[in-house]
């Protein structure tokens, strides 16, 4: 049997906005079925990296392969590529940093949205799936509520339910635990581990939370000033004793990572 292609391969990915160099030659290989926790201080390019992965932003140079396919070679203007891009987006679930719920849709319709777009499921099946995932993120009796009626943490959990509704092969989570209390954050971590075990999903989780990295990561990356300072399996990274990663885990102001 042919060896399974890595879930994600980045080759010297660069992205700038005018003079602002945000990603500089970021390269990594994440095998399928792994959980990468990407750490890094604020403003360092983590969200931009996720947007590039899912095809919402194009790198200036470098290549991105998803399950072996070079997505940076795809051009939305070509009809053959549009089909491939649609198929590619089906592989991903994405939890945006701000949740990005549809404000004019109730919670149930938000979670059902990708199912209605991509799956030929009956409304009864959709209702079952929506309930299953809302239960999984600890939300009951909210289906008919509008996003504006929920707390920030509740909205984040609805967004997570929507991101996993299609049981995608790769789930990208931009700071899933920010704004959640520690118990809810641990519940979400358990859910990530459970989905990973049950469906062999690959996760990329952006986080500032080193405890979360210790709990769920198979791989850890540290992005600082657009450069991937550290990347490897959790064991490799925790053993590496690198200055930047130690500073992050020690929550110290002393070290290579400076606020200004």
Ligand X SMILES: Nc1ncnc2c1ncn2[C@@H]1O[C@H](COP(=O)(O)OP(=O)(O)OP(=O)(O)O)[C@@H](O)[C@H]1O
User: Binding residues for ligand X, per CB under 6 A?
Assistant: 17, 20, 22, 40, 42-48, 97
Q: How far is the CB of 97 from Mg ion (least distance, A)?
A: 5
Q: How far is the CB of 200 from Mg ion (least distance, A)?
A: 27
DSSP-H helix ranges across the chain: 46-53, 79-91, 107-118, 123-136, 152-164, 182-199, 210-216, 234-240, 243-250
CA dist., res. 174 & res. 159, Å (int): 11
Q: Is 203 exposed, middle or buried (0-12, 13-18, 19+ CB in 10 A)?
A: buried
Site residues (vs Mg ion, CB under 5 A): 46-47, 97
Cβ nearer to Mg ion, comparing 46 with 155:
46
Q: How far is the CB of 257 from ligand X (least distance, A)?
A: 12
Out of Mg ion, ligand X, none, which partner does residue 27 contact, by CB within 5 to 8 A per kind? none
- Closest by CA position to 26, among listed 47, 9, 43: 9
- Closest by CA position to 59, among listed 27, 89, 81: 27
Cβ nearer to ligand X, comparing 53 with 106:
53
Cβ nearer to ligand X, comparing 97 with 246:
97
Out of Mg ion, ligand X, none, which partner does residue 151 contact, by CB within 5 to 8 A per kind? none
Q: How far is the CB of 178 from ligand X (least distance, A)?
A: 9
Q: Are the C-beta atoms of 107 and 150 separated by less than 8 Å?
A: yes
Cβ nearer to Mg ion, comparing 47 with 215:
47
């Amino acid at each position: 049997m042919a060896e399974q292609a890595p879930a994600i391969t980045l080759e010297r990915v660069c992205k700038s906005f005018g003079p602002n160099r945000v990603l500089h030659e970021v390269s990594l290989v994440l095998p399928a079925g792994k959980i990468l926790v990407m750490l890094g201080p604020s403003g360092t390019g983590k969200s931009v990296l996720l947007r590039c992965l899912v095809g919402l932003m194009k790198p200036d140079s470098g290549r991105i392969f998803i399950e072996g396919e070079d997505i940076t070679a795809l051009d939305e203007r070509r009809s053959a590529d549009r089909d491939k891009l649609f198929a590619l987006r089906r592989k991903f679930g994405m939890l945006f940093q701000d949740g990005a719920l549809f404000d004019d849709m109730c919670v149930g319709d938000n979670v059902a949205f990708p199912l209605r777009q991509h799956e030929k499921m009956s409304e009864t099946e959709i209702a079952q799936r929506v309930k299953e995932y809302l239960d999984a993120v600890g939300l009951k009796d909210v289906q008919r509520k509008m996003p504006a009626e929920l707390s920030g943490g509740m909205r984040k959990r609805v967004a997570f339910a929507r991101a996993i509704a299609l049981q995608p092969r790769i789930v990208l989570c931009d700071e899933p635990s920010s704004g959640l209390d520690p118990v809810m954050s641990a519940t979400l971590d358990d859910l990530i581990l459970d989905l990973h075990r049950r469906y062999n999903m690959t996760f990329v989780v952006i986080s500032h939370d080193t405890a979360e990295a210790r709990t769920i990561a198979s791989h850890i990356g540290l992005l600082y000033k657009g450069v991937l300072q550290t990347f490897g399996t959790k064991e490799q990274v925790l053993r590496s004793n690198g200055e930047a990663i130690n500073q992050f885990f020690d929550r110290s102001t002393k070290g290579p990572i400076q606020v200004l």
